Structure 1
Amino acid sequence: MLMIFDCDGVLVDSEPIAARVLSQYMSDLGHAICDADNHDRFAGLRLDAVRAILENENGELLPEDFEVEIRRRDFIAFETQLQPIPGVVAAISSIYARRCVASSGSEKKIHNSLRLTGLSELFGDNVFSAQDPRVTNGKPAPDLFLLAARDMGVKANECIVIEDSVPGVRAGKSAGMCVFGFYGGGHCSPTHANSLLAAGADKVFNDMVQLPKLTMSKI
């Protein structure tokens, strides 16, 4: 059994921070968008997909350094604001299964987030990024999760994906994996559980203390 964890919104409570960063960036360009709207539309997506959506909506091209600048601002904000999801260390430590991280963020961003929140030792080098050139399509395509399973030497039907976003849930199901939808992050609205279920999540939960029991039911 392999457990594949998304990073943002599952391991670290980064989504509210990232939403604020993007809102401020767009405001600097004269486009007002709210933090909650950012999460609802962009959670789980690569920055190139976010760029395409925003350019289409605003009818103009974003600055060439959009992705670089967003990553730079995220790094600065994370240094002082990033926290792990409550209970995640105890939950993961009590589950005796192989594990890895698979996220839309860059590998550098993932490792930095794990370092800042004391989670690095739980995963070591078992980190996979949708920015890897072997990942042709980001979430909701299954490419990233299939890459993680292949490199870890585990069949897709022997994987459990932990995701907080609709694109992530869809990616996991498209890969033929079991998916648990997590809606306990600081960005999640009261209706987010329903959105995850509608996307195909096998189970949903909002407290990491529930994860070991959910996992045992699938092993």
Structure 2
Amino acid sequence: MIIFDCDGVLVDSEILSNAIDAELMTGAGHPITAQDLIRTWIGRPKREIWAAIAAERGVAWPEGLLEEADARLLCAIETELRAVEGVAEALRQIDPPLAVASSSALPKLRRSLERCGLLHVFDPHVYSASQVARGKPAPDVFLFAAAQAGVAPEACLVIEDSVAGVTAALAAGMRAIGFTGGRHTYPGHGELLQEAGALEIVDHMRDLPSQVAALRTPRSDASG
């Protein structure tokens, strides 16, 4: 089974989400850029990111600020979100089964996929860290996805754009391909994913099907 992260891999949302978060955090007295957030925090559940930054700065966020960030992002999903370039064609070339395992909350995850015309490709195998005890870099959401699909973890190949996601995949006993084709990519992105354990780095979706085919083993094909 091929398991995709969503944000930054299927839908080009990381640049939107982190720009909103950086603006609100800066306005609350914690100067930070979207690139700062992307380099350090992408791949983790949003509430955990906000809680960790609040703990680091030693000051709680103003009441309702995270909810405002969520509301702004939902608006951006409806007006600005688009699929990652080339992803629809790439998915047509990759044999099923396919699944999504994301740090996003399930309603936002499903709406993002629907908005970009991708939900039908994966449904019903769309899974969120909100359904498990721990988010990435813990392996829980990947193990949950495999269990729900009835596929052994070692028969799964994960497509991820974050160090946290690659780390989670390896902790689940899965292999990973690093993806750096989203608009949020940055210098050294691919190298960090390789250091985390990604077997290959893909910087455009046009190259993903051939990499998936090369890494699919007879056991993974038999399992799914």
Give me the TM-score of the superposition, normalised by structure 2: 0.93
Distance in 2 (CA, whole Å) between partners of 1:46 and 1:64 is 19
For 2:127, the equivalent position in structure 1 comes to 128
1:53-91 Cα offsets, whole Å, 9 max, x none, are 211222111234344332211101121111101110111
Deviation, 1:203, is 1.1
Segment drifting more, 57-66 vs 143-152 = 57-66
Instruction: Give the superposition deviation at 1:178.
Output: 1.1
Structure 2 residue aligned with 1:98? 97
Q: Once the 2 structures are TM-superposed, how far is the Cα of residue 215 of structure 1 from its aligned partner? A: 1.1
Matched with 1:11 is 10
Matched, 1:194 2:191: yes
Whole-Å separation in 2 of the counterparts to 1:185 and 1:128? 21
Q: Give me the identity figure in percent.
A: 40
How many pairs were matched up?
216
Distance 2:211 2:64 in 1: 42
**Structure 2 letter corresponding to 1:28:** G
CA-CA distance at 1:24 after TM superposition:
1.4
Deviations 1:30-59 (A, max 9, x none): 221111001111201112321222112221
Given the alignment of the two structures, is residue 142 of structure 1 paired with residue 139 of structure 2, yes or no?
yes
**In structure 2, C-alpha distance between the alignment counterparts of 1:167 and 1:87, rounded to whole Å:** 24
Aligned to 2:29, the other structure's residue is in SS state coil
**Cα gap change, 1:67 to 1:127, in 2 (>3 Å):** farther
In structure 1, the partner of 2:151 is 154
> What are the residue-to-residue correspondences of 1:147-186 with 2, within 5 Å?
147-186=144-183
1:77 equivalenced with 2:76 (yes/no):
yes
Runs (4+) of structure 1 exceeding 4 A deviation are none
**Structure 2 unaligned spans of 5+:** 217-224
SS at match of 1:180: strand
Maintained 8 Å contact 2:154/2:173: yes
Mapped partners of 1:24, 1:91: distance in 2? 34
Aligned match of 2:42: 43
Q: Is the 8 A contact 2:24 2:65 kept in 1?
A: no
Distance 2:113 2:50 in 1: 25
